Amino acid sequence: MVNRKSRHHLAALALVGWYLMMPPDSPKIPHDVDADIPLARWVVVTSFDTEDNCEKALTDLQNNQQDPIALDKTGKLKRLQKNDAALGKARSLNAACVASDDIRLKATKSK
């Protein structure tokens, strides 16, 4: 029998989603990203219900060296499309799956 505390814990776990995120483009180096910037300033490309689904999508992107923006179904990231293969590769190789409740996402977004 599951006690009340366990049910609350299971419910909380069920609410955690996963973001496929990429660092912003480097302002200093053409065709590259700024992966050292705090995670709170990275770009959320899309979300997944499980870590496994996110990791599979990330692996596929990296194996194909495909720009993560290709997964954006909302059109919100269209402004970031640059048709730059080297930049797309840098984005995919530096992209990451991040839990939606990761404390690093709550850090300040200012410079």
Q: What is the pLDDT of residues 65-85, one digit of tens each?
A: 999 999 999 999 999 999 999
User: 10-31 burial by CB neighbour count: b if 16+ within 10 A, else e?
Assistant: eeeeeeebbbbbbbebbeeeee
Encoded tokens for 80: 């970031």
Residue 6 has pLDDT above 90, yes or no: no
Specify whether the backbone of 90 is left (phi greater than 0), alpha (psi in -120 to 50) or beta. Answer: alpha
Q: 38 falls in which pLDDT band (50, 70, 90)?
A: very high
* Amino acid, res. 10: L
The answer to pTM > 0.95 is no
Residue 57 has pLDDT above 50, yes or no: yes
Backbone angles phi, psi at 58, to 5 degrees: -65, -45
Burial of 40 (0-12, 13-18, 19+ CB in 10 A): middle
pLDDT computed for residue 107 by the predictor: 76
In the block, tokens 């530096």 appear at: 94
Residue 23 has pLDDT above 50, yes or no: yes
Paired strand residues for 19: 47, 98
pLDDT computed for residue 65 by the predictor: 93
Burial of 69 (0-12, 13-18, 19+ CB in 10 A): buried
Residue 10 has pLDDT above 60, yes or no: no
